[in-house]
Amino acid sequence: MPRTAVRTRPGVLDIREGLHAGAGSQTSSQITPRSDAVAVVADDRGGMDSTRIRRAAVAAALVSFVFFGVKDLVMAAAGGVGRTWWENPPFYIAFVLALVSLVLTGLVACRGRTWIARLGLVLVMLLFCAAAAGVGVLVVGVVQPADPGWIWGELNLFMLPLSALALALVLPRWPVAQLPGRAGTGRGAAGTLGV
């Protein structure tokens, strides 16, 4: 579990404790409850707000899924693949949003780790997405009817936002201690290339 440092000053509330350090207080017995201030919490792994970034990654994956659905609806209204130019913008938007979700997930998951662990996490994410796409193709190949329509070829596109969503929900929640390669745990100093 990462250590957190709480900086308090008069008028600042430590939300985790629900306590306020009064002006000039030196001991915990002089701390009084207060509810009209905001905590200033710094994480020792960097200054990023990982909760907001993870939420943005989840939102980007969900919106990407929706835009792939919009693309299929536009294609259905046009009567098939390649019959309208309007199927391209939802595809590109969905694809870029899925990539943004993966990048944001990688930022949060790689924070506080050595460069070797970061490289390993990026490779794991790429392999997971490729494996999810392969599973999607296999499942569609098994389930599709003898005379499949164009929609069966489009179903595997949904695996990219689904895999981005799965990674955004699971990977950033792993504490640094559960994955190898935490910066500073090897032979080198913290933040160096030593492992």
Regarding whether 26 and 78 lie in a shared domain, the answer is no
Regarding whether 107 and 71 lie in a shared domain, the answer is yes
C-alpha closest to that of 36 among 58, 53, 20, 52:
20
Q: Is residue 166 part of a domain?
A: yes
Say how many domains are in the chain.
Answer: 2
**Top-ranked range on mean pLDDT: pick from 7-11, 42-46, 164-168, 171-175:** 164-168
pLDDT cut 70: percent of the chain above it: 64
Number of neighbouring beta carbons within 10 Å of residue 162: 19
The band of 62, judged by pLDDT with boundaries at 50, 70 and 90, is very high
DSSP state of 189: P
Strand ranges (E), the chain: 4-7, 13-14, 19-20, 40-43
What was the pLDDT predicted at 170? 86
Cα distance between residue 78 and residue 11, in whole Å:
61
Section 69-85 average pLDDT: 87
Q: Is residue 159 part of a domain?
A: yes
Regarding whether 156 and 83 lie in a shared domain, the answer is yes
Regarding whether 108 and 34 lie in a shared domain, the answer is no
What was the pLDDT predicted at 48? 66
| Token couple for 130 | 């490729």
Q: Is residue 195 part of a domain?
A: no
What was the pLDDT predicted at 178? 53
Q: Who has greater pLDDT, 177 or 140?
A: 140
Regarding whether 39 and 55 lie in a shared domain, the answer is no
For 65, list phi and psi in degrees, rounded to 5: -60, -45
The band of 147, judged by pLDDT with boundaries at 50, 70 and 90, is confident
What was the pLDDT predicted at 101? 93
Q: Is residue 153 part of a domain?
A: yes
The boundaries of the domain holding residue 38 are: 4-43
The band of 113, judged by pLDDT with boundaries at 50, 70 and 90, is confident
Regarding whether 146 and 104 lie in a shared domain, the answer is yes
Regarding whether 147 and 66 lie in a shared domain, the answer is yes
Render 6-57 in DSSP notation, one character per residue.
EE--TT-EETTTTEE--TT--SGGG-B---SS--EEEETTBS--HHHHHHHH
Regarding whether 154 and 94 lie in a shared domain, the answer is yes
The band of 177, judged by pLDDT with boundaries at 50, 70 and 90, is low
Regarding whether 55 and 39 lie in a shared domain, the answer is no
Q: Is residue 187 part of a domain?
A: no
The band of 191, judged by pLDDT with boundaries at 50, 70 and 90, is very low
DSSP state of 4: E
Regarding whether 136 and 78 lie in a shared domain, the answer is yes
Cα distance between residue 149 and residue 80, in whole Å:
9
Regarding whether 80 and 150 lie in a shared domain, the answer is yes
Q: Is residue 139 part of a domain?
A: yes
By residue count, the chain amounts to 195
Regarding whether 60 and 8 lie in a shared domain, the answer is no
